[in-house]
Homo-oligomer: A and B are copies of this chain.
């Protein structure tokens, strides 16, 4: 019986050329993050369904690939709802499993714990170009550090990694703080209970612009004076650390001075010591959707590429949900698939790849000659050369063209009467 040849809907087979780039990017990320003292861990791809549906994951919880119970636990006669059928699912991010991992292992881990995770996650999103239902995330998280050193090290580590991987692409780190976000709205007279709605509208800034945000706020019934004061405040903010300090002064009625000073200090320090060359901007319109963020939030955008290539922030309340003991936490996630797409689009070739040589031998060569060919290949391989040993095809020209596509730059030919080429 002939079977289905295509991958399942929304997922893809990865070809050798892309695989090389993926492995290269992973190694660069891993090596950079290790130099910053992050320790790599891994959790299972499968998580408890109760954990996955615990309201930490926002909309992602609607996109879970759920796994059927097995054996006696599956009783088809007593099914009332979907959740009677499943006991687990594929993880939709690496943050929830990290929280579970930390809750389970904290006693044996250094404090603070600096975690690196690289792994696939799954979301049953509507299939669309360039977005897949299985994709890799690369996260670093610092657990147990309430100071701004966590933010500084996360931003330094991620910008160093991106600077090494994409040295030709300019990028900008935009940074904000949930406290400032809220302070600006409160200062302008938006009521406390309207915060979520205001931020959902503000978050559309990059799509609908200032005018669009202003219009939607007015249409939602907020006071004209609040809206106009808010727009003026947003437009007038300085994007550097001094701008943040000045804004802190303006918000003194609603915001403790330490919040703006903390953010300004992060920006000062990162600017002073960063290895990579990038822009660092305070962005008062940066919201980041996930409800679990509690403080600093940040995002990186890359020139010529719509959308962000990395994002993260502080989430001091999440780990406590598992452990019952509050643990400050801060994380940064690189959009691995986006970086790979940018490199593929740039025609990037992986540096430092060994020489690739094809040894082609004539059909029906005697076995001692073939043994000699393989022996020679083994010697070259020891010296770091990638050697393919293959029988010469009838259409040798076509065969060589195909091998050239695979990166083979040199050919050596072996014939029945001995070595020629």
Contacts and interface: CB of A to CB of B under 8 A. Distances in A.
A15 B105 contact: yes
Interface in A44-94: 44-48, 50-51, 54, 65-68, 70, 74, 76, 79, 81-82, 85-88, 90
A391 interface: yes
Interface stretch (A30-38, A340-348, A410-418): A30-38
Contact of A76 (B51, B79, B273, B378): B79
A3 B321 contact: yes
A282 interface: no
A252 interface: no
A147 interface: yes
Interface stretch (A148-156, A203-211, A213-221): A148-156
Interface residues of A, number: 106
A112 interface: yes
> How many of these chains are in the complex?
2
B88 A390 contact: no
A390 B45 contact: no
B322 A5 contact: yes
A7 B43 contact: yes
A406 B42 contact: no
Interface string A143-180: 00101010011001000100000000000000000000
Contact of A44 (B11, B50, B85, B156): B11
Given A5-B104, A402-B110, A149 B391 contact: yes
A46 B370 CA distance: 41
Interface in A325-350: none
A144 to B, nearest CB: 10
Contact of A82 (B16, B68, B112, B374): B68
Given A110-B403, A354-B35, A384-B35, A41 B68 contact: no
A214 to B, nearest CB: 37
A390 B42 contact: no
Contacts of A8: 44, 46-48, 87-88
Given A40-B16, A265-B367, A35 B385 contact: yes
A70 to B, nearest CB: 5
B68 A85 contact: yes
Given A110-B406, A273-B375, A371-B269, A3 B36 contact: no
Interface string A1-38: 11111111001111110011011000000100011110
Given A13-B41, A45-B45, A268-B367, 4 more contacts: A3-B50, A3-B103, A110-B402, A269-B374
Interface of A: 1-8, 11-16, 19-20, 22-23, 30, 34-37, 39-48, 50-51, 54, 65-68, 70, 74, 76, 79, 81-82, 85-88, 90, 100-101, 103-105, 110-112, 114, 120, 122, 124, 133-134, 145, 147, 149, 152-153, 156, 160, 265, 268-269, 272-275, 321-324, 354, 356, 358, 367, 370-371, 374-375, 378, 381-382, 384-391, 393, 402-403, 406
22 contacts: A2-B321, A2-B322, A3-B50, A3-B321, A5-B322, A8-B87, A14-B42, A16-B39, A35-B384, A37-B358, A39-B406, A65-B67, A67-B67, A70-B124, A112-B390, A145-B391, A149-B389, A269-B371, A269-B374, A273-B374, A273-B378, A275-B382
